[in-house]
Amino acid sequence: MSRMIFVNLAVKDLDKSVEFFTKLGFTFNPQFTDSNATCMIVNDQAMVMLLVEPFFKTFTKKELAPASQVEAMMAISADSRGDVDEIVDKAITSGGQKANDPQDHGFMYSRSFEDLDGHIWEVIWMDMSGDVTHMADMPANA
């Protein structure tokens, strides 16, 4: 069975977040959109629910992590190295911030950005035609 994933992210301003991610090429499902939330479509099996902070808080008893902390990083694939650069450059010119330095391992290239609410997004291209078995041996943040 193929499973879908719905990532839920708290946002301060839903309209600004929709505008930001629209500039990056994402679309939204109007069936799951109102003044409190929207469903950003990554693909047929992956969605990101952007929920305004007060609404997000109704789903948990825990406090929201401050922007100075990170609990998770989202990673999305790109079709090419150029596509990685294009997506991250658009994110930065649309109000996002650079998160980390680019990582180039030959068979894999990535860059990352923080969205308007400080969530970290990594954009990755991998050449799956080569030998990627040594990925597990790569040092973290190499």
The tokens 């401050």 sit on which residue? 66
Confidence (pTM):
0.85
**CB neighbours of 123 closer than 8 A, spacing ≥ 6?**
75, 76, 77, 78, 83, 84, 87, 88, 110, 111, 112, 113
For residue range 53-107, what is the model confidence (pLDDT) as tens digits? 999 999 999 999 887 888 889 999 999 999 999 999 999 999 999 999 999 988 9
Q: Is 134 helix (H, G, I), strand (E, B) or coil?
A: helix
Same structural domain, 33 and 76:
no
Question: Which CATH number covers residue 95?
Answer: 3.10.180.10
Are 48 and 93 in the same domain?
A: no
- Rg over CA atoms, the chain: 16
Higher pLDDT, 129 or 85: 85
7 contacts 47 by C-beta, under 8 angstroms: yes
Q: Does the residue 24 lie in any domain?
A: yes
Instruction: Give the alpha-carbon dihedral of 124, 12, 19, 104, to 10 degrees.
Output: -10
Listed residues 16, 31, 56: the one ending a domain: 56
Distance CA 52, CA 24 (A): 20
Token pair in block for residue 12:
């301060």
Bridge partners (DSSP) listed for residue 40: 28, 48
The residue segments making up the domain with residue 37 are 1-56
- pLDDT, tens digit (0-9, with 9 covering 90-100), for 22-51: 999 999 999 999 999 999 999 999 999 999
**Are residue 89 and residue 131 in the same domain, yes or no?**
yes
